[in-house]
Amino acid sequence: MAIPKINDVCINGASDNQAILQLFDDKCFKIVEKEKTSGEFCLPDFAFPVDGYSCINLGAEVDNGEIILFDNQILTAGSPVLDLTQGSIFVRGIMLKVIYPIKDDNGEEIDIVNKSVDLWIEDAETLEYKKHPLYNFFSLFTNPKSNDPKDLINRIKIVNPNLLYTVKISALIIYGEVK
């Protein structure tokens, strides 16, 4: 079952009239039902400090395996770091998109209910992972100026448990310097 094109759902009145969350040029997420929009969540004033050229755009493929998107390495001698060293660079934000193929390795169309990977987030304080299902978009921004290691995420990895298809990962990882 393919998801109809936005134009077909919103304008042409496709048979499946399910509402869709869509991002518009005015920096607002809106619920779209045919020609009507509602339920907007806008980000026109969003700004996040980034330390110079330290933004990284990462592309990767994950085929029935895992990839670590970043590791802040908040671990020394088996224990979490208590103080961040001035001048150190740590990940403070991430925007992540998972791109699924239309068909699996056998040529079968992949149903939307089967499009899921696992997002594993390791807490910087306890160094324990928490697993979350992920369809195709995730973002996280921590306090950009805090020097408390407990305010950071230590590591994020993506695990693709699917044996029959490879996903592509596109991520913008934002670093901040400890001042």
Amino acid occupying residue 1 = M
Encoded tokens for 4: 């109809």
- How far apart CA 73 and CA 71 sit, in angstroms, is 5
pTM, two decimals, is 0.78
- How far apart CA 88 and CA 175 sit, in angstroms, is 10
CATH number of 76's domain? 2.60.120
Provide the residue range defining the domain that includes 157.
Answer: 52-177
Express each pLDDT in 99-157 by its tens digit: 899 999 999 999 999 999 999 999 888 888 999 999 999 999 998 888 888 888 999 99
Let me know the angle formed at the C-alpha of 55 by 50 and 58, rounded to the nearest 5 degrees. Answer: 150
Average pLDDT over residues 85-99: 90
Give me the pLDDT at residue 3, please.
Answer: 47
- How far apart CA 158 and CA 65 sit, in angstroms, is 8
129 in a domain, yes or no? yes
Residue 10 pLDDT > 80, yes or no? no
62 in a domain, yes or no? yes
Express each pLDDT in 44-77 by its tens digit: 888 888 874 344 555 566 666 888 888 998 876 5
Total structural domains within the chain = 2
Encoded tokens for 17: 């009239």
